[in-house]
Amino acid sequence: MSTHASSHQYFISRPIYSYPDFNVENECSGRTALRLIKSIFPVTDWLFRYPVREWLLSDIISGVSTGLVSSLQGLAYALLVSVSPVYGLYSAFFPIIPYFIFGTSRHVSVGPFPVTCLMVGSVVMTLTPDDDFLVPLNISGVNETTVDVEAREAQRIVIACSMTVLIGLIQVIMGLLQVGFLVRYLSDPLVGGFTTAAALHVFISQLKTILSVPTNLHADRYIRRHSKCDFPHVWALVDFSPPFGFFEFNAKFQHKIPVSIPIELIVTVVATGISYAVDLESRYGASTVRSIPRGFASPSLPDQGVFWKTLEPGFSTAVVGYAVAVSVAKVYAAKNDYAINGNQELIAFGISNVFSGCFSSFVASTALSRTAVQASTGGKTQVAGVISATVVMVVILALGQLLEPLQKSVLAGVVIANLRGMFLQVLDVLVLWRQNRADCLIWIATCLASVVLGLDVGLLTGLAFEICTVVFRTQFPTCSTLGSIPHTDIYRNVKGYKNIVEVAGVKIFKCNSPIYFANIDYFKEQLKKAVGFDAVQVFKKRNKALKKIQKLMKKEKLKTSKNGVVSAVSLCQENKGFEGEGDVVRVGPGERADLHLDWASKLPVPVNVPRVQIHSLVLDFSAVSFLDVVAVKALRLVVKEFVRLNVRVFIAGCDGTMVKNMESLSFFDEAVTKDLLFLSVHDAVLFIRRGEADGSLQNPALRSKTVKRFPLATVCSK
530-549 residues near its own copies, rule: CB under 8 A: 534, 536-537, 539-541, 544, 548
Rg over alpha carbons for the chain, rounded to the nearest Å, is 39
69 vs 511, which CB is nearer to its own copies? 511
308 vs 517, which CB is nearer to its own copies? 517
- Among positive and negative, which fits the CA dihedral 549, 555, 559, 564? positive
Which one of the spans 47-55, 264-272, 628-636, 700-708 is the region binding its own copies (CB under 8 A)? Answer: 628-636
Tell which one of 225, 252, 434, 498 touches its own copies (CB under 8 A).
434
Site for its own copies (CB under 8 A): how many residues? 103
376 vs 625, which CB is nearer to its own copies? 625
Nearest CA to 56 out of 47, 66, 67, 68 is that of: 47
String of contacts with its own copies for each residue 683-712, x by CB under 8 A = ----------------------------x-
436 binds its own copies (CB under 8 A): yes
521 vs 594, which CB is nearer to its own copies? 521
Residues 149 to 168: which contact its own copies by CB under 8 A? none
602 binds its own copies (CB under 8 A): yes
Measured from the CB of residue 169, what is the shortest distance to its own copies in angstroms? 24
Measured from the CB of residue 203, what is the shortest distance to its own copies in angstroms? 26
String of contacts with its own copies for each residue 642-681, x by CB under 8 A = -------------xxx---x--xxx------------xx-
Widest pairwise Cα distance in the chain = 130
User: Alpha carbon of 123 to those of 152, 194, 198, 204, 354: distances in Å?
Assistant: 14, 18, 15, 17, 18
How many helices (H) and strands (E) in the chain? 31, 13
H, E, C per residue of 397-455: HHHHHHHCCCEHHHHHHHHHHCCHHHHHHHHHHHHHHHHCHHHHHHHHHHHHHHHHHCH
233 binds its own copies (CB under 8 A): no
152 vs 528, which CB is nearer to its own copies? 528
387 vs 639, which CB is nearer to its own copies? 639
519 binds its own copies (CB under 8 A): yes
630 binds its own copies (CB under 8 A): yes
Tell which one of 296, 307, 522, 668 touches its own copies (CB under 8 A).
522
Which one of the spans 100-108, 109-117, 268-276, 467-475 is the region binding its own copies (CB under 8 A)? Answer: 467-475
230 vs 337, which CB is nearer to its own copies? 337
Element (H, E) at 566: strand 566-568
282 binds its own copies (CB under 8 A): no
306 vs 545, which CB is nearer to its own copies? 545
Tell which one of 162, 212, 344, 513 touches its own copies (CB under 8 A).
513
Tell which one of 262, 378, 454, 514 touches its own copies (CB under 8 A).
514
Provide CB contacts within 8 A for 485, sequence distance 6+.
491, 492, 497, 499, 500
| Number of other residues whose CB lies within 10 A of the CB of residue 57 | 12
Element (H, E) at 470: helix 455-475
User: Alpha carbon of 285 to those of 73, 291, 405, 444, 682: distances in Å?
Assistant: 24, 15, 12, 42, 85
Q: Where are the alpha helices (DSSP H) in 211-303?
A: 217-226, 232-253, 263-278, 280-284
Cα–Cα distance, 445 to 286 (Å, whole number): 40
String of contacts with its own copies for each residue 488-507, x by CB under 8 A = -xx-xx-xx-----------
Q: Where are the alpha helices (DSSP H) in 43-148?
A: 43-46, 52-81, 86-93, 96-102, 114-127
2 vs 706, which CB is nearer to its own copies? 2
- Taking the alpha carbons at both ends of the chain, their separation in whole angstroms is 107
453 binds its own copies (CB under 8 A): no
250 vs 680, which CB is nearer to its own copies? 680
Residues 107 to 126: which contact its own copies by CB under 8 A? none
String of contacts with its own copies for each residue 323-362, x by CB under 8 A = -----------x--xxx-----------------------
Tell which one of 85, 189, 314, 462 touches its own copies (CB under 8 A).
189
185 binds its own copies (CB under 8 A): yes
Cα–Cα distance, 552 to 587 (Å, whole number): 11
CB 441 within 8 A of CB 418: no
Cα–Cα distance, 603 to 598 (Å, whole number): 8
2 binds its own copies (CB under 8 A): yes
CB 350 within 8 A of CB 175: yes
Cα–Cα distance, 589 to 413 (Å, whole number): 96
CB 618 within 8 A of CB 484: no
239 vs 456, which CB is nearer to its own copies? 456
462 binds its own copies (CB under 8 A): no
Cα–Cα distance, 349 to 359 (Å, whole number): 15
